[in-house]
Amino acid sequence: MTTASAPPPRPGLRLLNHISTNNIKGDLFGGVTAAIVALPLALAFGVASGAGAAAGLWGAVLVGLFAALFGGTPTLISEPTGPMTVVMTAVIAQLTARNPENGLAMAFTVVMLAGVLQIAFGLLKLGRYITQMPYTVISGFMSGIGFILIILQIGPFLGQAIPRGGVMGTLRALPDLVQGARPTEVILALITLAILWFTPRKVRTVIPAQLIALVIGTLLSLTLLNMPGDAGSEGIRRIGEIASGFPQLRLPFFQADDLRLMLVDAVVLGMLGCIDALLTAVIADSITRTEHDSNKELIGQGLGNLVSGLFGGIAGAGATMGTVVNIQAGGRSALSGISRALILMVVILAGGRLAAQIPQAVLAGIALKVGVDIVDWGFIKRAHRISLSGALIMYLVIGLTVLVDLIVAVGVGVFIANILTIDKMSALQSRSVKSISTGDGDLMLPDEEKALLDKGRGQVLLFQLNGAMIFGVAKAIAREHNAIGDCRAVIFDLSEVSHLGVTAALAVENAVEEAIEKGRDVFVVGAADTTRRRLEKLGLYAKLPAERTSLSRREALEQAVGALS
């Protein structure tokens, strides 16, 4: 498959995504294909979230349209995703429990706030930092979300409503759910899973398995398994009729007592949306051999979620499945995402009544399969072979994500992973802190300088630092300096230091001051650029004669050795 890089945007079009008319046929076909994939997933995620099928559908339209118009990834398809639906479900359940009358309006306000935060992240140019997390944490986080989605679908899969209390509520109610399982709906859900798993690849390239499962499951519920009814009767639970026409504007709603909770929820939803979208954008880049604009993409995602919340749609982000399908079908510019949103809008407006007969058990099967696909099974199986500590971090993040809280999971995972990384880096860099007093040491020195050290007869010590001196190296600097025995002169060589952190700089300062207090001749040589400026700001050079800080290493050795005679 040949691909073409998207040309840089013209100055007058910087506000918009890359929209091209050079590939109209491919973009339209990509948009149609992505719309077909989006329809069953949007229905499933809308129902699973608790906001309703219409909220899922309009979320797919509005997030997709505005992200395509104003984003920074030409081929990205944005819509409600499994991870975003998991958070959205928790937000709706939490807020409706606190305020049954206005909880849903507050949940849509959270979506708007999440969009505003994403826009702010983009304007502050934080895009390149969002996904800079260890893979063990990302894998554990996404896998945890997959497990949550699976657990939350157990109730609908068995023909019952999702129990209160989210994951823990479902797990506690599991015996009752199994005992009260409704065979007809369980059969529908199992048939749905079978279609999703066993549809041949050749067929899936023509018609998405989700759409096949949706159509066949609905037809079976109306014929062979015909038990007409709705969520309030003994028949098959169906999603009910979707109101025709455009959605109504929903103004932000909040109460002072719930504002803090809503802001926390918005941060979680916004951050997850950023991670989800940017990771998908990287996948799109790898397929199309282009490079997305992270900050612009965040602005587009934020606008999409802001508008979606204003019109009663659930939150969305870049969707891997829809994006890959779009690219494979020929989509190359944002015209594909725009056409997908418009096509989906027409389908909603014209076919809302047809959706009324779709069984909730079929949508539960589709959502459960999405949850299974989100789990990073490949890495789970081999993580312990690659790194035991990495595997433990991943398992911890999965457990915290499922059983505690998403923010806690990411925070704890990133903290532990960074601590372990810093410890390993510090151990490696500590080997670059060396002190020698003879030419037989393991420092790489010219023969002339080794000869000068030998001439010093152990009275001239060369204290050398190499590479990046992060804060973890401070202990090594102090340890190496404390091991110094009697000597007349100490030369601190910083010529090979690429970065001198604040903590390491203070450790160098302490070592210099202690050497001065003991009456030794002290030289600080080789510091340049940011390293020298940092030491100057600390006032280190003011404590030494100028002639001892402006020499080369060889000149300092000559002067130190000369002072011995």
Q: Does residue 404 sit within a domain?
A: no
Residues 299, 70 contacting (CB under 8 angstroms):
yes
CA angle 213, 215, 218 (to 5 degrees): 100
Q: Are 364 and 473 found together in one domain?
A: no
Q: Among 337, 356, 375, where does a domain finish?
A: 375
Q: Among 375, 396, 412, where does a domain finish?
A: 375
Tokens standing for residue 6: 């998207």
Q: Are 362 and 448 found together in one domain?
A: no
Question: DSSP per residue over 126-149, as a string?
Answer: -HHHHT-S-HHHHHHHHHHHHHHH
Tokens standing for residue 297: 């993409």
The residue with tokens 């390993």 is 424
Q: Nearest-CA neighbor of 405 among 12, 94, 161, 4? A: 94
Q: What is the pLDDT along the chain (565 residues), one digit of tens a residue?
A: 334 444 444 443 467 888 888 889 889 989 998 998 898 999 999 999 999 999 999 999 999 999 999 999 999 999 999 899 999 999 999 999 999 999 999 999 999 999 999 999 999 999 888 777 788 888 898 899 889 989 989 999 998 888 877 888 889 999 999 999 999 999 999 999 999 999 998 888 888 888 899 999 999 988 877 654 444 445 788 888 787 788 999 999 988 888 999 999 999 999 999 999 998 998 899 888 888 999 999 999 999 999 999 999 999 999 988 998 899 888 999 999 999 999 999 988 887 777 788 898 999 999 899 889 889 999 999 988 888 888 999 999 999 989 888 778 888 988 898 888 878 877 776 666 766 766 555 667 788 888 888 888 888 888 888 888 877 777 777 777 666 767 888 888 888 888 888 888 898 888 888 888 888 888 998 888 888 889 988 888 888 888 888 888 888 888 888 888 6
Q: Among 375, 398, 417, where does a domain finish?
A: 375
Do β-strands 460-469 and 433-436 pair in parallel, antiparallel, or remain unpaired?
antiparallel
Q: Does residue 526 sit within a domain?
A: yes
CA distance 191 to 212: 11
Total domain count, the chain: 2
Residues 162, 155 contacting (CB under 8 angstroms):
yes
CA angle 189, 194, 197 (to 5 degrees): 125
- Write out the residue range of the structural domain in which residue 261 sits: 36-375
Q: Does residue 97 sit within a domain?
A: yes
**For position 496, which CATH number holds?**
3.30.750.24
Q: Are 268 and 145 found together in one domain?
A: yes
Query: What is this structure's pTM?
Result: 0.77
CA distance 507 to 469: 10
Q: Does residue 405 sit within a domain?
A: no
CA distance 511 to 362: 70
CA distance 195 to 210: 8
Cβ contacts of residue 80 below 8 Å, gap of 6+? 41, 42, 45, 46, 49, 56, 59, 60, 63, 88, 314, 315, 316
